[in-house]
Each structure stands twice: as C-alpha cells, then as structure tokens.
Amino acid sequence: MSTHQDPLIQKILHLIETRFAGNLNSVYGIGSYFDDSLPSKWMRNDIDIVIFVESITRIPEEEWKQRFKPKKFNGYDVWFLFNTIEGFQDKNKFEEISERANYEWSLIELKLPENSKFLYGLDIRNKLPDIKNIQFDYDDILARALYHLDLCLKQLTSRKDKDKNRVKVTAMKEFTKAVFKYSFYICIFYDSTFHFTSIHNIEKKIFKLVENKKFDELGLYFLSESIHFRKEQEFHEPFKHLLQKFIDYIFNLLGNGKLHRPMKYQELKKYLGTTFRGLPYLIRVLDNAKQTYNDKDI
C-alpha cells in the first residue's frame, strides 16, 4: 500500500505496482522532490524512485534496457533505480546491479529516513547494513560532481537544440547538481560521520566548516549561488564567469593537494579520462588551463 498522498507519486506508484507485480518488494523516493526541508518554489525537475525487487532477472527485459533513461510524468523526468535487499548487503553485487550509483551514498540515503521517503511495500531499512563505520570512496564521490560539471559544459557547446535559453537553463541545473554533490563530498571529507544528503543539511554543515576555518568561503559562495538559483532561477553574476571560476577553483584545490589526494596535470587528466567513460569537456578545459598556468598550479 502507498504511503504518499501526492497524486503524481500515486500515479507513478500505480504504474510500478502494475508493471512489477509479483516481483515488487518496496519503493522509496530520494532527492529534492521528496525533501520537505526545501522551500515550495524550489526548482524540481527530477523524481528519483528506488525500486526494491525480489529478483533483478524478473524485471521485464525492455524495462531493464531502458533503466538509464527517464520516464516523463507531468513534465518531470522520473528515474527508476532498481536493486534488491541482497544487492545492498554486498557492495560488489550492488555495483553489478547499479553500475552508475555510488554504494556508500546510496546506502545512507536509503538507511536514514531523513534522506529518503518510504513510499510503498515493506520498509526494509532495518535489513540494510549498518552505516556507523562506513568508508567512503572519495574518488568516486568527487567524480559524480565532475560528471555533472562535464554535462554542464556539454550543454553549453551543444548545437543540436535550437532553443538557446532551454540549453542554458539545463546547463545551469547541471552546474548546481555539480556544486551540491561537491559540497556533499566536502562534508564527508572533513567529517566521515556526516550521513545526510539533503541540501538543507549540507548547507548547515558547510556553514559550520567555514565557521571553524576548515573550509573556505569561496566554496560556500558557490553553494549559496546554486541554492539561490534553485529558488529564484538566476545567479548573482554572469553564469559563464561563475562556471569558469568553479572549475578553476576545483582544479587548483586538486593540484595543490587540498582535497582527499593531490592530482597534478597528468594524474588529473587520467582521472577525468577514466571517469564515467571519460569527461571530455573538462579535459579540454584542463588542457587549456595548462597553457595558462604552470604545472604546479594545476
């Protein structure tokens, strides 16, 4: 039985119940759509649904093939993310099923009611592994921020869509996703016991890190600008300036060893080249930066 009163979510759950009848265990909602701490006018475009099934092999073949493509509901991109209880109990099995998701991040989202909404079926949180001593893969978490940054750059250079304003807004949304994921990375980098994924909790943690002189104010500025955009659909400064500033900022932090491990030009280029089958737009920016700065700076 559904536990959510939102008509759109009810519609989605009805589809899930029909399509996966006999194989369905439970359903959860994650991400900003289900975050009650965000203001009502917050820009929400994606609906992320985690579907726990009894068996991955019993998911309809066409549904499994299309799992990395969103479904359209009332103007929203709805993502169905499949897994099993056994998948969450074994990291290797999880990565086989959810090849694009980070295990630790996904685990804390589903384990804690503060990070997700139980929507349907049996609440299986108590069957998920304990997160007290969780070991984050910092390379992988940071890569997720860089992935969205690369998508942002890709949008800005795309010539397929003639609607320039739509392309720019999409790029801006990808930029804010990159900043939010980077900010989460910073939270767990400085405090591995931080287990919250909502923007509200991340913002509070970043404020505290800045207050305690552990994190810099420029990083907070990027987060504040991204939050402002999601509320007001605008930035305080020209977007391209903000974007370039953020990329330079991250490249310099990595080059100077201020993040979880130092990465000079060659190592950073290799890292970008092997992340999510390569991040070519960021590599292009990196190569251009190398012509501007000394190797020691990047």
Per-residue pLDDT of 102-149, as tens digits, reads 999 999 999 999 999 999 999 999 999 999 999 999 999 999 999 999
pTM, 2 dp = 0.92
pLDDT at 132: 92
pLDDT tens, position by position, 194-234: 999 999 999 999 999 999 999 999 999 999 999 999 999 99
**Which pLDDT does position 213 carry in this prediction?**
94
At a CB cut-off of 8 Å and minimum separation 6, what does 62 contact?
none
Please give the average per-residue pLDDT across 19-37, as a whole number: 95
pLDDT digits (tens, 9 = 90+) for 139-185: 999 999 999 999 999 999 877 766 778 889 999 999 999 999 999 99
DSSP states of 105-171: HHHHHHH-TTTEEEEEE---GGGSPP-TT----HHHHHHHHHHHHHHHHHHHH--S---HHHHHHHH
Q: What are the backbone dihedrals phi and psi of residue 154, each rounded to the nearest 5 degrees, phi first? A: -60, -45
pLDDT confidence of residue 163: 74
Q: Name the class of domain 7-127.
A: alpha beta
Report the pLDDT averaged over residues 79-96: 94
Alpha carbons 121 and 47: distance in angstroms, whole number: 19
